[in-house]
């Protein structure tokens, strides 16, 4: 899933003004926007909700979620909300460090024919938040919509493991031939192309959640608005004031144990430093993402939490845009980035990464990809046709507005200049428009992160296939696709590992559309009044078990 951490700001100018006003006195305790301890909000259906401090978990999303349509959402901000208002067939035990699978809408999942066919038993006692009974058809509707060409979901490839799914997505076979069927009122039979032991893990992901086609038919794109949207989650969407705030409230019809905290109030504060100020003032219960310049101070606090995360930080290149269309040029860029220095500056426990799978996961290799090597970088630049006396091309590096991304971008900019003499222009954009531009016209060099949707290397390798719409580099290699597909179905662990090594090398050293930089670490602040706050390597923020101390 596209990961975004922290974000953009528009009002920093005003804040700067405020700062200069107070600088004569002190540089601390900037005035911040205040919100009283109890807030009353009006929902679209005319109710007014009183969000008292004792009943409300106050969080910061960092930016407006690009969408709440779970067939279409691709990013961490959107899934932060979706994972609370919806449940999948299968779920993770977030209190378990191994993230064991636990039943959710499905009570049971059984493999047969060596994990090529899966039989799922669905719960029969579940109703949607509007009272409609949940059925297996909703699951099938969701999967069909996910893969249908007209939905244009970037996650369409997610269930390509299912028999004929890819062909259906390409419009070559009718839905009836796809290997999904209801056998009995509550049994779902799924036939895969190849054996796939991790198939149940896919069903934890938002893109595979059941969907209500009747609501989409009724409201069109507006079905995700508060008032229109219904869900199966522990919470339901009460209010979505775009670019401002989201309120979710406990869902009375939820089949599982009811959430302990009645409301979750999510603000969209772009500036991480502002969020920390609000946290200090007791107006936020959690800050996700700490500016790296503040880490040294913040990590001494008792509210500080951190966890290794199955998330990579990388730079992608648009391989169709000169000069990035030249593979030698791309390799020269990759060879001239010194990840060790990036990690040293961030100083948050991040791990330099040349491979494509995050460290701490099966399929991680310390020795694949293009390492920092000046001689090789210069040789590749020469091969790319930029010999002595030839003018070096200018290009731009884009990132979504965020203090940490800017800091890393400035280091990379300076390294490219120092090592190869390349002039790189930095550009930043707010998350939603950044993602939108990434779809239509990916820039030369751009920052991205990828957070595991399920803890299997396939999730990372799959991302760069020619048919993955989350691959923004426009690089395509059918040989790579083939190896990744074979590896997904390989049951022998060692053989599978070797296939991934081969594919990684092909991706990173031969094609080089992407340059991995590091495996991320999540840094958070969590208020002392909050217990059971979900902190896990997959950064799934599910709030149903959170308790607020009185």
What residues line the site for another protein (CB under 8 A)? 9-10, 12-13, 15-17, 19-20, 23-24, 27-28, 30, 271-273, 276, 291-294, 296-298, 341, 344-345, 401, 403, 406-407, 409-411, 413-414, 417, 425-428
Q: Among residues 176, 106, 162, which one has the least CA distance to residue 135?
A: 106
Count other Cβ atoms within 10 Å, centred on residue 535.
18
Nearest one of 211, 181, 185 to 118, comparing CA atoms: 181
Q: How many helices (H) and strands (E) does the chain have?
A: 16, 21
Other residues' Cβ atoms within 10 Å of the Cβ of residue 299: 16
Q: How far is the CB of 391 from another protein (least distance, A)?
A: 12
Q: Which is nearer to another protein, 39 or 406 (CB)?
A: 406
Instruction: State the DSSP code for 212.
Output: -
Distance in Å, CB of 291 to another protein, minimum? 6
Q: For residue 110, how many other CB atoms are within 10 A of its CB?
A: 11
Nearer to another protein, 4 or 500 (CB): 4
Residue placing its CB nearer to another protein in the complex, 408 or 503: 408
Nearest distance in Å: CB 252, another protein: 42
Smallest gap from residue 529 Cβ to another protein (A): 23
* CB closer to another protein, 174 vs 322: 322
CB 144 within 8 A of CB 207: no
Nearer to another protein, 380 or 429 (CB): 429
H or E stretch covering 501 = helix 493-505
Q: Measured from the CB of residue 345, what is the shortest distance to another protein in angstroms? A: 5
Q: Cβ contacts of residue 202 below 8 Å, gap of 6+?
A: 158, 159, 161, 208, 453, 454
Element (H, E) at 500: helix 493-505
Smallest gap from Cβ 226 to another protein, in A, equals 26
Phi–psi pair at 491, nearest 5 degrees:
-90, -25
- Cα separation, 138 vs 318, in Å, equals 38
**What is d(CA 431, CA 401) in angstroms, rounded to the nearest whole number?**
7
Q: Minimum CB separation from another protein for residue 321, in Å?
A: 16
Report whether the peptide linkage leading into residue 446 is cis, meaning its omega lies within 30 degrees of zero: no
* Nearer residue to another protein within complex by CB, 151 or 428: 428
> Cα separation of 497 and 408, whole Å?
31
* 143 token code pair: 């999967």
Listed residue (65, 97, 108) closest to 84, CA to CA: 65
Toward another protein, which CB reaches closer, 250 or 269? 269
Looking at the Cβ atoms of 300 and 493, the one nearer to another protein is 300
Closer residue to another protein, CB minimum distance, 276 or 357: 276
Instruction: Find the shortest distance in angstroms from Cβ 223 to another protein.
Output: 29
Least distance CB 287 / another protein (angstroms): 13
Q: Which residue has the tokens 């820039």?
A: 443
Residues 6+ apart with CB under 8 A from 214: none
Length of the chain: 550
Least distance in angstroms from the C-beta of 18 to another protein:
8
Closer to another protein by CB, 276 or 420: give it. 276
DSSP label at residue 317: E
């Amino acid at each position: 899933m596209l990961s975004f951490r922290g974000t953009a700001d528009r009002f920093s100018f005003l804040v700067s003004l405020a700062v200069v006003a107070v600088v004569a006195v002190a540089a601390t305790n900037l005035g911040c926007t205040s919100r009283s301890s109890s807030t009353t909000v009006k929902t679209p259906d005319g109710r007014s909700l009183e969000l008292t401090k004792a009943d409300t978990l106050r969080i910061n999303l960092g930016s407006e979620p690009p969408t709440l349509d779970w067939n279409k959402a691709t990013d961490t901000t959107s899934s932060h909300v979706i994972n609370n208002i919806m449940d999948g067939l299968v779920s993770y035990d977030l209190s378990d460090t191994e993230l064991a699978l636990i039943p959710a809408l499905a009570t049971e999942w059984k493999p047969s024919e060596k994990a090529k066919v899966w039989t799922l038993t669905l719960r029969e006692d579940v109703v949607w938040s509007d009272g409609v009974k949940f059925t297996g058809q909703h699951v099938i509707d969701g999967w069909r919509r996910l893969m249908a060409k007209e939905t244009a979901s970037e996650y369409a490839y997610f269930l390509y493991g299912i028999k004929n799914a890819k062909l259906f997505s390409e419009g070559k076979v009718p839905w009836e031939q796809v290997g999904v069927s209801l056998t009995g009122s509550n049994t779902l039979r799924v036939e895969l192309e190849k054996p796939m032991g991790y198939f149940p893990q896919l069903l934890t992901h938002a893109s595979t959640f059941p969907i209500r086609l009747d609501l989409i038919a009724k409201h069109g794109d507006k079905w995700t608005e508060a008032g229109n949207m219904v869900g199966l989650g522990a919470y339901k969407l009460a209010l979505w004031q775009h670019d401002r705030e989201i309120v979710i409230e406990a869902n009375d019809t939820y089949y599982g144990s009811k959430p302990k905290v009645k409301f979750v109030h999510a603000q969209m504060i772009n500036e991480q430093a502002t969020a920390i100020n609000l946290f200090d003032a007791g107006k936020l219960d959690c800050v996700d993402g700490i500016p790296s310049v503040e880490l040294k101070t913040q990590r001494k606090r008792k509210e500080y939490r951190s966890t290794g995360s199955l998330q990579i930080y990388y730079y992608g290149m648009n391989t169709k845009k000169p000069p990035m269309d030249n593979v030698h040029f791309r390799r020269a860029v990759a060879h001239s980035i010194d990840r060790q220095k990036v990690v040293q500056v961030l100083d948050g426990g991040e791990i330099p990464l040349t491979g494509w799978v995050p460290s701490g996961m099966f399929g991680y290799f310390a020795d694949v990809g293009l390492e920092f090597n000046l001689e090789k970088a210069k040789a590749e630049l020469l091969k790319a046709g930029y010999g002595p006396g030839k003018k070096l091309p200018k290009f731009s590096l884009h990132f979504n507005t965020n203090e940490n991304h800017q800091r890393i971008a400035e280091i990379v900019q300076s390294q490219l200049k120092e090592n190869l003499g390349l002039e790189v222009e930095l550009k930043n954009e707010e998350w939603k428009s950044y993602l939108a531009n990434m779809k239509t016209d990916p820039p030369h060099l751009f920052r991205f992160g990828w957070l595991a949707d399920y803890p299997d290397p396939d999730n990372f390798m799959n991302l760069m296939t020619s048919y993955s719409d989350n691959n923004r580099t426009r690089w395509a290699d059918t040989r790579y696709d083939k190896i990744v597909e074979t590896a997904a179905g390989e049951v022998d662990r060692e053989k599978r590992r070797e296939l991934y090594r081969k594919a990684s090398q092909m991706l990173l050293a031969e094609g080089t559309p992407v340059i991995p930089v590091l495996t991320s670490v999540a840094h958070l602040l969590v208020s002392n009044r909050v217990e059971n706050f979900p902190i896990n390597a997959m950064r799934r923020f599910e709030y149903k078990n959170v308790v607020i101390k009185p």
